[in-house]
Amino acid sequence: MGKREPVIATLGSHSALQILKGAKDENFPTLVIAPEDKKDFYKRFRFIDEIISIPNYLDFPKIEKLLFKKNVILIPHGSFVAYLGLEENKKMRIPYFGNREVLDYESDRQKQREWLIKSDINVPLQFRGVADINYPVIVKSYGAAGGKGYFYAKNKRDFQKKIGALKDRNFIIQEYVIGVTLYIHYFYSLLTNKLEILSMDRRYETNVDSLGRIPLTHQEQLNIEPSYVVVGNSPLVLRESLLPEAFAMGERVVEKSKQLIGGKGLYGPFCLETVITPDQKFYVIEISCRIVAGTNLFMDGSPYSSLIYNEPMSTGRRIAREIKLALKENKLEQVLN
């Protein structure tokens, strides 16, 4: 990376607005790479200095040279792997905020599960086959995004009735945890060696979150199946008595990543997707090792970020703050990959 001031850039989708607004708040030049038909949309925002349009998201790697010339630091988000694929992402050499090696763990459900278990985190039981099912379960096909294609089965018979087309695909059968979903947004700094909780959200999923609006007697007649497609996110604050464990879980996951995953382990933004049961236990259903879309609720900070910062601090801005701090301390190499 040259001596020139770096440009903070990302792909136009997911949490790009938050990332670039945060970068501008920290006085960085900003750049978005977006498909042609989204150019006008991104033009609306004054905090975006430059737009590079590409025919399709998949064309992104083709402009790598240009991005090098512009002294770009790339901030990944949820659309990177979704649009470009895992291998393409790992191949790119543009300075990137985060550890690319974490992607192997994030994208492999089995590896992810081992990491969580080794971090002393509760995870739902997993069943090898239909014969083992002795609880209500949720069945998840591989590569499903946003909860699409998941289904609930109350027992073996129900499972066999519903598995149908999914039979030929890879799927996992997991204990269905009944509780409140809570997604915790963390930021771990390699520079300060501290873990911060910046915000929290819960997802609103249709129709599982709206079934309670129909009385049980009517539900029985309608024969509705719950589905888990995300339509939005809403804020939630956690009982204070549960906060120490929320911090501790994040710290354990970071600590374990240093042994399990190559390089610097997990750093920057990540999210534990939890379900909290009536006995006040967190079950983690997934870890996302990057900024998650639920942080978009908190462009101006959250109750949790205000406990740490006396200014509005989104996850996007926190990323830019880390880069700024690294530049000041001459440690940019340490936070980039």
The 8-class DSSP code of residue 34 comes to E
Answer for which of 25, 196, 201, 273 binds ligand ATP (CB under 6 A) is 273
Query: Which positions from 186 to 205 touch ligand ATP by CB under 6 A, shown as an x/- string?
Result: -----------------x-x
- Order of strands across the sheet that contains 268-276: 228-235, 195-207, 180-188, 268-276, 282-288
Of residues 49, 114, 158, 286, which one binds ligand ATP by CB under 6 A? 286
How many Cα atoms are found within 13 Å in the side-chain-facing hemisphere of 137?
A: 26
Q: Does 270 bind ligand ATP (CB under 6 A)?
A: no
Which of 12, 29, 76, 124 touches ligand ATP by CB under 6 A? Answer: 124
| Residue 44 neighbours by CB under 8 Å, 6+ apart | none
Map tokens 């936070």 to a residue. 335
- Among residues 147, 172, 236, 312, the one that binds ligand ATP under rule CB under 6 A: 147
d(CA 35, CA 232): 24
| Piece of 137-145, 249-257, 296-304, 311-319 that binds ligand ATP (CB under 6 A) | 137-145
Between 71 and 233, name the residue whose CB sits nearer to ligand ATP: 233
DSSP secondary structure string, 119-175?
TT-----EESSGGG--S-EEEEETT--TTTT-EEESSHHHHHHHHGGGGGS-EEEEE
Token couple for 90: 């790992």
275 is an interface residue for ligand ATP by CB under 6 A: yes
The residue range among 140-148, 163-171, 215-223, 254-262 that interacts with ligand ATP, by the rule CB under 6 A, is 140-148
Find the shortest distance in angstroms from Cβ 125 to ligand ATP: 9
Task: Tell me the residue number closest to ligand ATP, measured at CB.
Answer: 147
Q: Which is nearer to ligand ATP, 188 or 228 (CB)?
A: 228
Q: What DSSP character marks residue 237?
A: -
Nearer to ligand ATP, 153 or 299 (CB): 153
228 binds ligand ATP (CB under 6 A): yes
Determine the Cα–Cα distance for residues 180 and 183; give it in Å rounded to an integer.
10
Query: Which residue ranges make up the site for ligand ATP (CB under 6 A)?
Result: 124, 138, 144-147, 150, 174-177, 181, 203, 205, 228, 273, 275, 285-286
